[in-house]
């Protein structure tokens, strides 16, 4: 097992030579390696050098070539690092949460929600936020307004958000806290509920996203950083090495600042989500916002074209089965969408279009066809969700390079979909098998529970359309090379092959041999990004390190010293880079104060600390 420590006692070590070696830096042997490469899907071992896969082969071949460090995987399954193609990290202010099961499991009535609010008020101090989850029952209830909620919540700001991410109800205190006036105009692409010219507290689509962003921006920078670090640590614990983050909660410039401050261990693609009118879009965010971390990229622009069937705002070609007077609603016009796509193509920016209803999908595909058709092949415009993509549109979408990014947790609401769409239309949704057969690239992301193995199980069940359920290998491929292709990066990651980035995971169980119902119990025993360990579980006999323990000693000098241009805030990054580059198992620090150690541990989460301060035997002093 790995042991990575920062020791705060004064220690002396002979440091290894910094000269390059012809041998690989790391060899992982005795593994069951799923490469994801069709020509050679299985192997036993890999070697890693300068952050990339150097060789893939048998244990004998890789052992014979030699390596500075050798990890014996003990027969565990190794897979390419997972890539969550659609996720929503972010922070939220301290709040009292309403009790009760998730709304997707039990859709609470307004009466139930009011009772939960009353109970929360009893334990929540005045002025503290109360937050709860709702579903279709509350959104459909005309009494779900601030006039109903105000007498129950009083001066405590209350936010009720739909589990779908589409639809919010606020009380008056929450509107005031978020700077939403009683006569707030509808933003482009969204609308507020109104009565007698004043807001009722209900918000849909871009009015909802306006509220969500203001709410998510209430925590200070430190809280934002902590939230992203917790998200990334959870991701790495599942073997996720790349995340594609929809920045609905933060302006893209703020998101870059937070993520780079957080020093996340996983690759993070930040996707712009403008709240300005689509017709005003002029250039990609990456042209004006630069990143300094090689693990952070900014690319892609996302727009929400329609809602979901739950609140009946997904745009359908025909009326809803349970509400024949409505077919949903578009958030953007065809004219604006085509103009955006023309500008995006000229700027070489990948468009990401949230489309759920068959009407919205048809609009998107028509607009893509009208603005270039097959010339889009190199940019691969994305349909996020695309639940009602029709069989007749699959070949057309594939010819234009369209990528389908699906979220299997959406498959698990079959009864409600049948109610909204009727059995005939429900039988034609979530065409995963047919999409692959048509040559349409498919990627998977969470957009809900982060656990990728839970989402793979959902994809293998697909209760809304069981004939379209994926195999385990198809789901895994979509979560690795499919997601890499969805961000135009399949030549860098998504498979285990020579020259590819050394982003890999050793799993706690062999998912190819595990019963489907047991898949969600899977975690990563060892996760690597760029050939560096970013997560390591420590169960009995997890993996064995065959290399001798390596150590280094480093006098980092007191962080309180007045060192001018060499003061601690200015030398911190350099020192961390040295420690990261040396990758010693044990680092002995001298003249290290507690706040310096905390900052180093934040930057190097694979390490733990031993040692005490000399002044009080705890934290005080060197």
Closest Cα partner for 74 from 53, 44, 37? 44
The CATH classification number of 17-81+494-548 equals 2.30.40.10
What is the residue-wise DSSP string for 460-509? Answer: HH-TTSGGGPPPHHHHHHIIIIIHHHHTT-TTTSSS--TTSB--EEEESS
DSSP assignments along 74-86, one per residue: TT-EEEEPEEEEE
In the predicted model, residues of the chain with pLDDT beneath 70 are 1-22, 539-549, 581, 612, 616-622
Q: Where are the domains of the chain?
A: 5-15+550-610, 17-81+494-548, 95-216, 223-493
Which residues does 540 contact at the CB level (< 8 Å), separation at least 6?
none
The side-by-side arrangement of strands in the sheet containing 532-536 is: 42-43, 32-34, 77-80, 504-507, 524-529, 532-536
- pLDDT at 543 (0 to 100): 59
How many C-beta atoms lie closer than 10 Å to residue 433's C-beta? 17
Written as six digits, the tokens of 38 are 């069709």
Taking each helix axis as running N to C, give the angle between helix 594-603 and helix 568-582, from 0 to 180 degrees, rounded to the nearest 10. 50
Q: In the chain, what is the greatest distance between 2 CA atoms, to the nearest angstrom? A: 80
CATH topology of domain 223-493: TIM Barrel (3.20.20)
**What is the rounded CA–CA span in Å between residue 88 and residue 618?**
39
Is beta strand 158-162 parallel, antiparallel or unpaired with respect to 168-170?
antiparallel
Residue in this structure with the two tokens 């279009």, named with its chain if needed: 353
DSSP state of 363: H
Q: What are the backbone angles phi and psi of residue 188, rounded to the nearest 5°?
A: -55, 130
At a CB cut-off of 8 Å and minimum separation 6, what does 125 contact?
none
Task: For residue 396, give every residue at least 6 positions away whose Cβ sits within 8 Å of its Cβ, in sequence order, or none.
Answer: 365, 369
pTM for the full predicted model:
0.84
The DSSP bridge pattern shows strands 77-80 and 32-34 to be parallel
- Is 493 in contact with 466 (CB distance < 8 Å)? no
Let me know: does 387 contact 364? Beta carbons within 8 Å.
no
DSSP string, 563-596: -GGGSHHHHHHHHHHHHHHH--SEEEEES--HHH
Of 452, 606, 449, which Cα lies nearest the Cα of 536? 606
Element (H, E) at 443: strand 442-444
CATH code of 95-216, in short, is: 3.10.310.70
Q: In the chain, what are the helix, strand and coil shares in percent, each to the nearest 5?
A: 35, 25, 45
- The rounded distance, in Å, linking the Cα atoms of 228 and 437 is 37
Residue labelled with tokens 């009494």: 143
User: DSSP alpha helices (H): ranges in 161-262?
Assistant: 172-177, 206-216, 221-237, 252-262
Cα torsion 187, 189, 192, 196: sign: positive
Contact 551, 586 (CB under 8 A): yes
Q: Pick from 453, 496, 478: which is nearest to 32 by CA?
A: 496
> Residue 595: what pLDDT?
82
CA–CA separation, 155 vs 134, rounded Å? Answer: 21
């Amino acid at each position: 097992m790995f042991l990575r420590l920062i020791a705060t006692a004064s220690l002396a070590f002979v440091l290894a030579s910094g000269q390059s070696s012809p041998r690989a830096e790391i060899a992982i042997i005795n593994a069951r390696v799923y490469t994801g490469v069709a020509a050679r899907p299985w192997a036993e071992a890999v070697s890693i050098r300068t952050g990339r896969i150097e060789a893939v082969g048998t244990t004998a071949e890789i052992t014979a070539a030699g390596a500075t460090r050798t990890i014996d995987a003990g027969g565990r399954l190794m897979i390419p690092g997972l890539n969550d193609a659609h996720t929503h990290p972010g922070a939220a202010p301290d709040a009292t949460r309403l009790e009760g099961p998730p709304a997707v499991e039990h859709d609470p009535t307004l009466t139930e929600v009011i009772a939960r609010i009353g109970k929360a008020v009893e334990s929540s101090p005045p002025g503290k936020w109360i937050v709860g989850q709702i579903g279709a029952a509350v959104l459909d209830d005309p009494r779900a307004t601030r006039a109903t909620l105000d007498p129950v919540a009083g001066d405590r700001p209350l936010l009720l958000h739909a589990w779908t991410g589409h639809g919010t109800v606020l009380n008056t205190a929450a509107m005031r806290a978020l700077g939403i006036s009683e006569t707030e105009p509808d933003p482009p692409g969204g609308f507020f509920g109104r009565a007698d010219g004043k807001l009722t507290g209900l918000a849909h689509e871009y009015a909802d996203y306006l509220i969500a962003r203001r709410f998510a921006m209430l925590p200070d920078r430190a809280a934002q950083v902590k939230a992203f670090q917790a998200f990334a640590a959870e991701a790495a614990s599942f073997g996720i090495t790349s995340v594609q983050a929809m920045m609905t909660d933060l302006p893209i410039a703020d998101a870059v600042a937070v993520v780079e401050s957080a020093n996340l261990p996983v690759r993070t693609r930040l996707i712009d989500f403008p709240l300005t009118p689509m017709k005003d879009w002029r250039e990609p965010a990456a042209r004006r916002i630069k990143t300094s971390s090689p693990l952070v990229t900014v690319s892609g622009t996302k727009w929400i074209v329609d809602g979901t069937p739950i609140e009946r705002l997904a745009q359908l070609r025909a009326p809803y089965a349970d509400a024949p007077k409505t077919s949903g609603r578009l958030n953007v016009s065809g004219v604006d969408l085509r103009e955006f796509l023309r500008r995006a193509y000229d700027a070489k920016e990948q468009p990401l279009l949230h489309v759920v209803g068959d009407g919205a999908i048809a609009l998107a595909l028509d607009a893509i066809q009208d603005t270039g058709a097959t010339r889009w092949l190199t940019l691969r415009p994305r349909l996020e969700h695309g639940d009602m993509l029709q069989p007749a549109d699959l070949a057309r979408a594939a010819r234009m390079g369209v990528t389908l990014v699906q979220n299997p947790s959406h498959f698990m609401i079959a009864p409600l979909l049948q109610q909204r769409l009727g059995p005939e239309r429900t039988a034609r949704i979530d065409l995963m098998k047919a999409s692959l057969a048509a040559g349409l690239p498919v990627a998977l992301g969470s957009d809900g529970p982060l656990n990728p193995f839970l989402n793979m199980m959902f994809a293998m069940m697909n209760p809304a359309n069981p004939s379209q359920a994926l195999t385990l290998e198809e789901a895994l491929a979509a979560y690795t090379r499919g997601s890499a292709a969805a961000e135009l990066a399949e030549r860098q990651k998504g498979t285990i092959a020579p020259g590819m980035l050394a982003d890999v995971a050793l799993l706690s169980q062999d998912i190819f041999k595990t019963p489907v119902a047991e898949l969600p119990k899977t975690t990563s025993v060892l996760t690597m990004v760029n050939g560096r360990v970013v997560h390591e579980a420590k169960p009995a006999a997890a993996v064995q390190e065959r290399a001798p323990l390596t150590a280094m000693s480093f006098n980092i000098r007191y962080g309180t010293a007045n060192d001018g241009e060499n003061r601690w805030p200015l030398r911190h990054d350099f020192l961390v880079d040295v420690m990261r580059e040396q990758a010693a198992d044990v680092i002995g620090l001298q003249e290290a104060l507690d706040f310096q150690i905390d900052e180093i541990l934040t930057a190097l989460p694979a390490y733990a600390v031993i040692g005490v301060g000399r002044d009080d035997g705890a934290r005080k002093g060197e």
